[in-house]
Amino acid sequence: MVTTEQAVKQPVTPEEYKSGLKPVWCPGCGDYGVLNALCQVYHRLGLKPEETMIFSGIGCSSRITGYLKSYGFNSVHGRALPIAMGAKLARPKLNVIAAGGDGDAFSIGIGHFPHACRRNIDMTYIVMDNHIYGLTKGQLSPTSPHDMLTTTSKFGSIETPINPILLAIGCQATFVARAFSGNIKHMVDVITKGIEHRGFSFIQVLSPCVTFIGKDQFLIIKNLLHYLEDDPDYDPSHRTSAFHVADEKDRISVGVIYQKKKPTYMDQLEILRQNAASKKKKKLADLVEIFRP
- Of all residues in the chain, the percent with pLDDT exceeding 90 is 84
- How high is the pLDDT of residue 2? 44
- How high is the pLDDT of residue 286? 67
Instruction: Calculate mean pLDDT across residues 87-97.
Output: 96
What pTM was computed for the model? 0.92
Query: In sequence order, which residues have a C-beta less than 8 Å from that of residue 117 and are 6 or more positions away?
Result: 168, 171, 172, 173, 200, 202
Q: Bridge partners of 96?
A: 53
Q: What is the pLDDT of residues 13-64, one digit of tens each?
A: 999 999 999 999 999 999 999 999 999 999 999 999 999 999 999 999 999 9
Q: What is the pLDDT of residues 152-207, one digit of tens each?
A: 999 989 999 999 999 999 999 999 999 999 999 999 999 999 999 999 999 999 99
Residue 7 has pLDDT above 50, yes or no: no
Q: What is the pLDDT of residues 55-91, one digit of tens each?
A: 999 999 999 999 999 999 999 999 999 999 999 999 9
Instruction: Calculate mean pLDDT across residues 138-154.
Output: 92
Instruction: Calculate mean pLDDT across residues 137-154.
Output: 92
Out of 115-124, 134-143, 183-192, 268-277, pick the least confident: 268-277
- How high is the pLDDT of residue 10? 77
Confidence of residue 6 (pLDDT cuts 50, 70, 90): very low
CA distance 127 to 124: 10
Q: What is the pLDDT of residues 227-283, one digit of tens each?
A: 999 999 999 999 999 999 999 999 999 999 999 999 999 999 888 888 888 887 776
